[in-house]
């Protein structure tokens, strides 16, 4: 996972972390939902290292 992708999304993680803390004081069970959103966002923004195919006629998709 590359840190550049995560650093570009720091405002998303900051908002979700603030939501987890704010909701914790009102409805603690609902903060689990926002914590799950943090994990889903982290999984969505992953940027794995990919090896391009060696066959010249194949196309490489931007997303898998």
How many Cβ atoms sit within 10 Å of the Cβ of residue 17? 13
- Percent residues over pLDDT 90 in the chain: 36
**Mean pLDDT for the chain overall:** 84
The reported pTM is 0.66
pLDDT tens track for 6-43: 778 889 889 999 999 999 999 999 999 999 999 998 88
pLDDT tens track for 33-60: 999 999 998 888 877 777 778 888 888 7
């Amino acid at each position: 996972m590359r840190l550049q992708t995560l650093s570009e999304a720091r405002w998303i993680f900051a908002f979700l972390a603030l939501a987890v803390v704010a909701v914790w004081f009102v409805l603690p069970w609902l903060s689990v939902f926002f914590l799950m959103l943090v994990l889903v966002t982290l999984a969505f923004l992953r940027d794995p290292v990919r090896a391009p195919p060696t066959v010249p006629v194949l196309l490489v998709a931007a997303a898998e």
